[in-house]
């Protein structure tokens, strides 16, 4: 069953920094969303309130994703071992089911996917996701395709977060990305991007039936989890957007037939 997940960067950033991410769990649960995406960049700079996050999550049945602004592969193509191990520990401390990172500088000839496989087998319970980010290398279709083809060939348990808006920032075709990468995707990040005065900006999802985000989502199975990664202000609008992309709207996405 599809889940609607709310990333904490959807709310006013200053409010989140001042009040703490845990203070928004109640409104997320009340909106009938199914999950929350904790953002590492919205934690205090010194002490991470991981135990507080986990304790507050026990009050609400929310599927938990941990998003960290960490690149999986360094500039030289080697794995970002120290940071990756650190964020896995943090994800475990808050009880996250999924951990989301960016690709970084994957190089088929240099990047050791077998080492990555060993790390992931030790972590076991947490699913690693790689998202197309807004950089020209981590949001590059061919780089991502090369990575996912390589890990699939080597049975490395990594899946993809497909951000439908980030392709605009990295200058790639959304449709080409869907056709090239859809088989690896288990998580959709939804946003609407427009060019205003020669500047790309992220906006809330349009509600009209012909909206571009709908055309993208319709090409994926309906059982993929979906995140609302766009400004939701005021926060009282959250329930409306949860309903907009929720499973009850059967036109949004195609159901996968089980064999």
Domain coordinates in residue numbering, the chain: 4-245
Return the pLDDT at 44: 86
Return the pLDDT at 252: 47
215 within 8 A of 252, measured Cβ to Cβ: no
Whether the link from the prior residue into 234 is cis, omega within 30° of 0, is yes
CA dist 142 and 180 (Å) reads 8
Per-residue CA distances from 112 to 75, 133, 150, 151, 174 (Å): 14, 21, 10, 10, 29
Return the pLDDT at 247: 53
Q: Is 148 helix (H, G, I), strand (E, B) or coil?
A: helix
Return the pLDDT at 246: 86
- Which homologous superfamily is 4-245 in? Divalent-metal-dependent TIM barrel enzymes (3.20.20.150)
Instruction: Give the chain's residues under pLDDT 70.
Output: 247-259
Structure tokens at 158: 């990594």
Q: Is 151 helix (H, G, I), strand (E, B) or coil?
A: helix
| CA-closest candidate to residue 10, choices 177, 250, 245 | 245
Return the pLDDT at 90: 97
CA dist 87 and 93 (Å) reads 10
Helix (H) or strand (E) holding 216: helix 212-217
Angle subtended by helix axes 141-153 and 174-181, to nearest 10: 10
224 within 8 A of 188, measured Cβ to Cβ: yes
Return the pLDDT at 63: 98
Polymer length in residues for the chain: 259
């Amino acid at each position: 069953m599809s889940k609607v997940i709310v990333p904490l960067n959807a709310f006013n950033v200053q409010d989140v920094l001042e009040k703490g991410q845990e203070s928004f769990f109640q409104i997320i649960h009340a909106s009938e969303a199914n999950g929350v995406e904790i953002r590492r960049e919205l934690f205090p700079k010194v002490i991470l309130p991981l135990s507080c996050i986990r304790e507050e999550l026990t009050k609400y049945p929310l599927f938990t994703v941990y998003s960290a602004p960490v690149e999986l592969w360094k500039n030289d193509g080697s794995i970002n071992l120290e940071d990756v191990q650190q964020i896995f520990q943090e994800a475990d401390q808050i009880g996250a089911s999924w951990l989301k990172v960016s690709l970084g500088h994957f190089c088929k000839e240099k990047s050791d996917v077998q080492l990555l496989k060993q790390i992931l087998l030790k972590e076991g319970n947490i699913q690693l996701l790689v998202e197309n980010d807004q950089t020209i290398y981590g949001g590059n279709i061919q780089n991502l395709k090369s990575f996912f083809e390589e890990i699939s060939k080597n049975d490395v348990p990594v899946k993809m977060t497909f951000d439908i808006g980030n392709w605009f920032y990295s200058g790639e075709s959304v449709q080409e990305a869907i056709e090239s990468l859809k088989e690896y995707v288990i998580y959709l990040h939804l946003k609407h991007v427009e060019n205003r005065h020669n500047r790309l900006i992220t906006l809330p999802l349009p509600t009209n039936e012909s909206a571009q985000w709908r055309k993208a989502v319709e090409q994926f199975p309906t059982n993929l989890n979906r995140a609302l990664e766009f400004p939701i202000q005021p926060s009282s609008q959250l329930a409306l957007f949860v309903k907009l992309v929720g499973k009850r709207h059967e036109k949004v996405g195609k159901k996968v037939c089980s064999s």
